């Protein structure tokens, strides 16, 4: 596949800690579309320092809507969809370059290697994601706090990984988790059908209990030292916030239903 037929698409908001590493691996692209949500840090200056970057700005409403807006700015046949903290491995770019000129599928999914301050971990809870697809066959849809691309037709798999290396501040991470937890709790309450992880999460008990065990022992992160513990504690905290947010809504609904919600109050 000719790399000139691919336009990378990246969403940004205050990503000065990450965006330079991401763009530094995309110098092969003739054009990179960055959809920025009016960053207040150095993100715009860093991004526009690359000649290939075409930066547009749009007020953020949801990740899916931002991505669909980005697709409207692209006329290339193929899109490489990346977050601002994704770093393409050299092996991934080489693999994409060796794909057929006209693949029999309309998209390709990649797996991720999670990094903690640049150190790759041996496992992650982050699922594979469709990152390379024909633009005309793709549309993004909301999924809890995140988004999923729906591609018409079959999806293939890439063997080489993408590195997920987010180095924004921990304070920013905490702020994001509170917002994400609200959206994930709403998703749990509204969905009629859930996959196994979300069914466990909906119990408000098993998610926070099982995640640290799964990370440390099933994924082997206990062997990664402090970076492995760091990731495990992050994921456990995120599950706790989702559980508490979901349980809080449930108890408030129950309180509203009994008249005044003061039964048992001293």
Alpha carbons 69 and 64: distance in angstroms, whole number: 9
**How far is it, in rounded angstroms, from Cα 89 to Cα 92?**
5
Residue 160 shares a structural domain with residue 220: no
Pairing mode, strands 162-164 and 112-116: parallel
Residue that terminates a domain, selected from 164, 194, 225: 164
Query: Is the distance from CB of 207 to CB of 236 less than 8 angstroms?
Result: no
Q: How many domains does the chain have?
A: 2
Q: Residue 256: its pLDDT value, please?
A: 74
Radius of gyration over every alpha carbon of the chain, rounded to an integer in angstroms: 20
Q: Is residue 206 part of a domain?
A: yes
Quick: pLDDT tens for 153-186.
999 999 999 999 999 999 999 999 998 898 888 8
Shared domain check, 178 and 131: no
Average pLDDT, the chain: 93
pLDDT at residue 37 is higher than 90: yes
**What CATH number is associated with residue 121?**
3.90.550.10
- Where in the sequence is the domain holding 38, given as residue range(s)? 3-164
* 174 located within any domain: yes
pTM of the model: 0.88
Spatial contact of 138 and 71, defined as CB atoms under 8 Å apart: yes
Single residue among 139, 164, 189 that ends a domain in this structure:
164
CA 62 to chain centre: 13
Which of 137, 164, 191 is the C-terminal boundary of a domain? 164
- DSSP code of residue 32: E
Same domain membership, residue 115 and residue 75: yes
Same-domain pairing of 98 and 196: no
One domain, residues 198 and 149? no
Residues 11 and 38 in one domain: yes
* 50-76 pLDDT tens trace: 999 999 999 999 899 999 999 999 999
Q: 3-state class of 170 per DSSP?
A: helix
The predicted model gives 179-208 an average pLDDT of 88
Task: Look at residue 197 and tell me if it is in a domain.
Answer: yes
């Amino acid at each position: 596949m000719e790399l000139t037929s691919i336009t990378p698409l990246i969403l940004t908001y205050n990503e000065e800690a990450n965006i330079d590493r991401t763009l530094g691996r995309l110098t092969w692209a003739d054009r990179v579309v960055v959809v920025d949500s009016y960053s207040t840090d150095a993100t715009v200056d860093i991004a526009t320092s690359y000649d290939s970057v075409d930066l547009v700005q749009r007020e953020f409403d949801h990740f899916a809507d931002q991505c669909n807006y980005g697709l409207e700015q692209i006329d290339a046949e193929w899109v490489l969809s990346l977050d601002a903290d994704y770093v393409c491995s050299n092996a991934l770019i080489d693999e994409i370059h060796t794909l057929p000129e006209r693949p029999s599928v309309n998209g390709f999914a990649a797996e991720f290697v999670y990094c903690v301050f640049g150190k790759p971990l041996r496992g992650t809870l982050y699922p594979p994601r469709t990152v390379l697809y024909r633009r005309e066959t793709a549309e993004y849809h909301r999924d809890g706090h995140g988004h999923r691309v729906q591609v018409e037709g079959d999806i293939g798999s890439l063997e080489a990984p993408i590195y997920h290396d987010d180095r924004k501040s921990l304070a920013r991470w905490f702020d994001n988790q509170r917002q994400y937890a609200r959206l994930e709790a709403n998703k749990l309450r509204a969905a009629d059908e859930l996959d196994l992880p979300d069914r466990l999460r909906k119990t408000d008990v098993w998610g926070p209990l099982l995640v640290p065990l799964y990370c440390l022992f099933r994924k082997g992160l206990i062997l990664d030292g402090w970076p492995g513990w760091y990731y495990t504690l992050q994921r456990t905290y995120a599950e706790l916030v989702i559980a508490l947010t979901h349980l809080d809504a449930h108890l408030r609904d129950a309180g509203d239903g009994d008249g005044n919600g003061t039964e048992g109050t001293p």
